Structure 1
């Protein structure tokens, strides 16, 4: 008799093994193996739950459920909890000996509330599904009138459960590797697109656009450093939110933590936090800091969606690789911009040298020659003497203007700081320039160039029209941007006559320069009260690293 029992058990295990090896589709595999299990054991009904963290679970397979439980596509099996699920979540179904025979709450309720026919089923056996230390869910089986399973039956069911658990792990690994391969194939497409971007200000929008198209993540948000905090620069096209909201070190959210702690932040319950950020609620999220070479913080890539997708090992791996490429692409763009700026700087230096060595020297020679000729002219030759005076004056004026042009092309001294360079420039014009700096934010070469040109033009105007030598400069940087002030106590003018004056072209040029940098220029002046220029330029995407450079 023992041999007959052993033979039947081996037959059951063989049939189950064969069934489990027929498919890599998890739901189809579990449904098929459950049907085969009932067939070879003679049991009447069964169902399988895949269980996640409490209270998440899903009914993935069922066979021959009584009408009381199968009502409306197994509706009552997909909602609520029961004794066996609670035991699983409480960690009491981890050992083989902890298989239990329990009175089912669902079956109890079916009788109590007259849900329908239970086919005489009142109890079931519950067997945990696991592989090694990993737990996946539970297998429940039952038969009409059967209130107790023998030790041998439970042992056989546990053996089957081990097979099913191992098959679940194998299938999950298969799908994980398949998804990983597909995800990295998609990643390659996005990466090639990213490396074709040449403007760092366009990078966030294009990264989000490409990622949404390829990966179809429900929420993709790109935050970039702005001042001492972060601001949202790009979001899925169909999503709307307030992009002026800033994330600071005091903000209690995953984006702030990822940025200021420089680590990946995963959140399995992100719904309320997303709503607080003005984003649509999603189940889970991940925030990844964007760090360039030297661990310089540039921003945060924030993605949200379903937990099983966003927080899967393969997806996290893809997101890490994507953030690395974004950081490297950003660094490459900035390095290339610096390279272009250096090339332009070198070209200006070359032009400055050429002007100094050729035109400047000829103007100097013309000035000396006219001075010598004037000394040879007879005193009574008034007309010729006046003509030579004009030639000498014009040559000296041209020489000064040429020196000023050379200075503008090659502003020696600006490397020591904007204010210091402008002071030196003003001194060369014969002005007494004073000023000070507040704040320690670094200025990009573009903003420094803008302020430098505006400062030069302002000093030139003061020299020509203000009838004063005293000039005051003030540079103030905050988290919002840079404020630059140039003021004098000279002649001043009527603002309503500004555009009718011949020197208004310089002021218009200064305003245009400020606006091209995304800022503004305000003029305050009245006759006899002097003039003040206020230039405000907000931080652009590239600004923000701290520096003590003034």
Structure 2
């Protein structure tokens, strides 16, 4: 049984690694690569411009460089598994919400109820990646204006509820049409960490994904607690 769990955990970690590499590739191509290209073009052409135009282009290049550095830091933060071990799950999720708010596309909020116990790092990473996957899907498909993360510890359950006020969709229809790979992947990871995943979606009103993880104390791994934001 323990060997099977180890194999499943390794498989999930490999899948997470593959998704992480795809995420890096997309960010480099879609965002960071474009900014770097603009910087390169400005630097190559700045000597051909008149003085005033060259000065303006230099200012623009400084701003683009600052943006590139900020985006690189944000990408590094979103990928850092070690950071979860250092700061805890709640802080990692709160940082993800801050990153989303900085895009200006959504109004995202993070709420915490109860004192969250620290969980095994492998479990915390999988839970964090599940939250990222849900968030990424909402960003891509929901057309929402508001996204809410609520993290609770109630009756020995760690509960993460992520909701939006977007388009919503027919879950059964998505599964029937073969578009349920993301949901299937989330369910598989939830099973791996002994969590329960439920999804509710109403067309025109939005979607909520809830992950409930039973907590059991392990002195080898659970050595601290996490308080709420602030």
Partner Cα distance (2:212, 2:122) in 1? 14
Q: Provide the alpha-carbon RMSD of the alignment.
A: 4.0
Task: Return closer, same or farther for 1:500/1:426 CA change in 2, 3 Å cut-off.
Answer: farther
Q: Does 1:505 pair with 2:176?
A: no
Q: How does 1:359-378 map to 2 (within 5 A)?
A: 364-368=35-39
Structure 2: state its 5+ residue gaps: 6-20, 45-70
What TM-score comes out, normalization by structure 2 length?
0.59
State the Cα deviation string for residues 64-123 of structure 1 (Å, max 9, x = none).
Answer: xxxxxxxxxxxxxxxxxxxxxxxxxxxxxxxxxxxxxxxxxxxxxxxxxxxxxxxxxxxx
Matching residue within 398, 422, 430 for 2:96: 422
**2:159 matched to 1:483?**
yes
How far off is 1:364 after superposition? Answer: 3.9
TM-score, normalising length from structure 1? 0.27
Deviation at 1:500, TM superposition (A): 4.9
Give distance in 2, aligned partners of 1:500 and 1:471.
27
| Number of equivalenced pairs | 173
Residues 463 and 469 in structure 1, CA contact (< 8 A), matched pair in contact too:
no
- Cα distance change, pair 361–526 in 1 and its aligned pair in 2 (3 A): closer
For residue 109 of structure 2, the aligned residue among 430, 434, 439 is 434
Aligned residue for 2:211?
535
8 Å CA contact retained: 1:440, 1:546: no
Could you list the per-position Cα deviations for residues 352-409 of structure 1 after superposition, in whole angstroms to 9, with x for gaps in the alignment? xx99xx9887654335557999xxxxxxxxxxxxxxxxxxxxxxxxxxx988764432
**Structure 1 residues 479 and 546: CA distance shift in structure 2, 3 A:** farther
Residue number among 403, 410, 413 corresponding to 2:80 in the alignment:
410
Deviations 1:169-219 (A, max 9, x none): xxxxxxxxxxxxxxxxxxxxxxxxxxxxx99x9xxxxxxxxxxxxxxxxxx
| Structure with more helix by fraction | 2
Q: Which protein has the larger Cα radius of gyration, Structure 1 or Structure 2?
A: 1
Q: Structure 2 vs 1, CA of residues 434 and 413 (structure 1 numbering), >3 Å: closer, same or farther?
A: farther
Partner SS, residue 417 of structure 1: helix
- 5+ residue gaps in structure 1? 1-197, 202-350, 374-400
The Cα shift of 1:481 comes to 2.2
Task: Measure how far apart 1:511 and its partner are.
Answer: 2.1
Evaluate the alpha carbon distance shift between residue 456 and residue 361 of structure 1 in structure 2; reply closer, same or farther with a 3 A threshold. closer
Q: How does 1:280-291 map to 2 (within 5 A)?
A: none
